[in-house]
Structure 1
Amino acid sequence: MRDLDLLIDAARTAGDIAKRYFNAAPEVWEKSGGQGPVTEADLHVNRQLEADLQAARPDYGWLSEETEDGKARQKTDRQFIVDPIDGTRAFIEGSRDWAHSLAVVENGRPVAAVVYLPIRDALYAAALGEGATLNGVTLTAQSDKPMSDATLLTTKPTVDPKHWRAGVPPFKRTFRSSLAFRLALVAEGRFDGMLTFRPTWEWDVAAGALIVDEAGGKATTKDGHAPQFNNDHPQINGMVAAGGIHDQIIAALA
């Protein structure tokens, strides 16, 4: 079985588990250090994904938001990078906009990726050099357009003038709580781009970054560099993902 097919099967199993807890008052805990909530659904999905994926690829490393990082992954040639539920707050609130985010990384670069939204039955997938799809239909990111006509997925702090070279460009701003879903929507061409300037956990964006790239867009750190994954500290320097306006966004940043 190809890595991508393995991720697709695992994501669908994860969705079946998560739906049992959705809108069913799952137990919720607050993580230490202000890292946000985690539910029993996150933990159940994480256990299942780790068991299934590591059984199929025991030589791959493992990095997940809900598994303590022992750094053994850095001695492996390939790694799974997983967020069992990206958008846990949305999950708790009963929104449909949470996702399972699964990637395989080799030499710091994603080579297979799935972002799956079970309640929407939307499965975004990509393999390096093979394009990106939504439920089997090929995706194409938005082509060039002026920033003044663009709609970007991002949070309110992003429009603080301190982040911009010559004032905030006149783009429209909207939001989805899951970073993985934001990236997938850019790949789908429904939005022109997404921005996050905070240090960004690898498990939130590894899968979505490949899906954007394979849809003909570009996903980079906020300084315009290709993101490198499987770092000792698993964060990257923000993310800017877009179709044709990607370089315009990078040029406008302070």
Structure 2
Amino acid sequence: MTTTTGAGSVLDADHALARDLAVEAGRLLLDLRGSFTGDAAGLRAEGDRRSNELLLARLRAERPADAVLSEESEDDHVRLDSSRVWIVDPLDGTREYGEVPRDDWAVHVALWVDGALAAGAVARPARGDVVATDAPPVVPDRAPGPLRLAVSRSRPPEFVTALAEHLDAELVPMGSAGIKATAVLDGTVDAYVHAGGQYEWDSAAPVAVAASAGLHTSRTDGSALTYNAADPRLPDVVVARREVAETVLGAIRTIEGGRSA
């Protein structure tokens, strides 16, 4: 049985596998965090390594014909000749993971099929939950008040600060990219805008889930996000509620226009 997506088809089992992999890797990371006796740097490195090993082993066993792009593995570019590519971030928010008991880190598992994201899951292990395309989340009604924008807790970028000032919006600090993007799904914020440089694995899974739930996803110029490119850098992303997306994009255009004038 298949579910048709924008540029092809994906097995229903792929949606379930994305969820299972994200949850299993998250469970491993929680167990490691609870038992590790070294310092924070060692915990971060071991978390990256072990989660990546688990995901690669499971994908080799479950989908041996598929290619994989992982933050923690060398890119051999074999994926460019594949019609099915798993894009994974074994530990999104490595910094936050090492700062026990912070919970704003995640595991990303996405599947790209024939030109488009087709399935995905973002596990938030320390929060005990996962959002995934096998059961797209229901986005709650927007809370009254000013727009709320997710922003990095430790490194708020100048661009988003300027955007918040233009929109008279509230900045809501939080950790990893996946946590910020999925905060739009939860209704914690109205939009996540990033323009400081990222890679495909930072946004693929959150974007897949957000799109499945009906949220707006795009580049900051409003163009479509594309994945499985030869260069995996994907420097900017917008995830927003539909009813505020054009307001946010319009403000971005104004700010960018002022900078280039």
TM interval, shorter chain, is 0.7 to 0.9
Bigger drift between 9-18 and 225-234 goes to: 9-18
Cα 1:27/1:54, change in 2 over 3 Å? farther
Look up the equivalent residue of 1:50 and give its one-letter code. L
Residue among 58, 66, 75 paired with 1:69: 75
What is the match of residue 33 of structure 1?
Answer: none
Q: Distance in 2 between matches of 1:229 and 1:105?
A: 7
| Paired residues for 1:116-195 under 5 Å | 116-127=123-134, 132-133=136-137, 139-140=138-139, 149-155=146-152, 156-157=156-157, 158-161=159-162, 168-195=166-193
Describe the shift of the 1:174–1:107 C-alpha distance in structure 2 as closer, same or farther (beyond 3 A). Answer: same
Matches of 1:234 and 1:218, distance apart in 2: 22
Instruction: Please give the per-residue CA displacement for 1:140-169, whole angstroms capped at 9, x wherever unaligned.
Output: 265598xx71111024223454x69xx622
Please list, as runs of the form range in 1=range in 2, the aligned pairs for 1:4-153 lying within 5 A after superposition: 4-23=15-34, 24-26=36-38, 38-94=44-100, 95-127=102-134, 132-133=136-137, 139-140=138-139, 149-153=146-150
Give the CA deviation at 1:198: 1.7
3-state DSSP of counterpart to 2:174: coil
Q: Once the 2 structures are TM-superposed, how far is the Cα of residue 189 of structure 1 from its aligned partner? A: 2.1
**Stretches of 4+ aligned residues off by more than 2 angstroms:** 23-30, 141-145, 158-161
The one-letter amino acid of 1:206's match is: A
Q: 1:236 to 1:174 in 2, by over 3 A?
A: same
Maintained 8 Å contact 2:21/2:58 = yes
The answer (yes or no) to whether the contact 1:142–1:186 under 8 Å persists in 2 is: no
Provide the rounded CA distance (Å) in 1 between the counterparts of 2:140 and 2:235: 23
Matched residue of 1:245: which SS?
helix
Identity of aligned pairs, percent? 27
Q: Following TM superposition, by how much is the alpha carbon of 1:13 offset from its aligned partner in structure 2, in angstroms?
A: 1.6
Structure 2, unmatched stretches of 5+, are: 1-11, 257-261
Tell me which moved more, 64-73 or 176-185: 176-185
* Contact 1:87 1:97 survives alignment (8 Å): yes
- Gaps of at least 5 residues in structure 1 are 31-36, 134-138
1:162-182 Cα offsets, whole Å, 9 max, x none, are x69xx6221000122111121
Is the contact made by 1:141 and 1:186 (CA closer than 8 Å) also made in structure 2? Answer: no
Report the Cα offset of residue 233 of structure 1.
0.8
1:84 to partner: Cα distance: 0.4
Distance 1:234 1:141, change over 3 A: farther
1:251 corresponds to: 250
The CA deviation at 1:199 is: 2.3
**Taking structure 1 as reference, are residues 25 and 169 closer, same or farther at Cα in structure 2, changes over 3 Å only?**
farther
Work out the CA distance in 2 between the residues paired with 1:235 and 1:11.
22
TM-score scaled to structure 2, two decimals?
A: 0.83
Q: Is the 8 A contact 1:144 1:245 kept in 2?
A: no
The whole-number CA distance in structure 2 between the counterparts of 1:188 and 1:85 is 21
Secondary structure at 2:167 match in 1: coil
Instruction: State whether residues 29 and 38 of structure 1, in contact with CA within 8 Å, keep that contact through their aligned partners in structure 2.
Output: yes
Range that drifts further, 65-74 or 51-60: 51-60
Judging by fraction of residues, say which structure has more helix. Answer: 2
Deviation of 1:238 after TM superposition, in Å, equals: 0.3
Per the normalisation by structure 1, the TM-score is: 0.85
Measured against aligned partners, the alpha-carbon deviations of 1:169-207 in whole angstroms (never above 9, x if no partner) come to 210001221111211121222210111102221101101
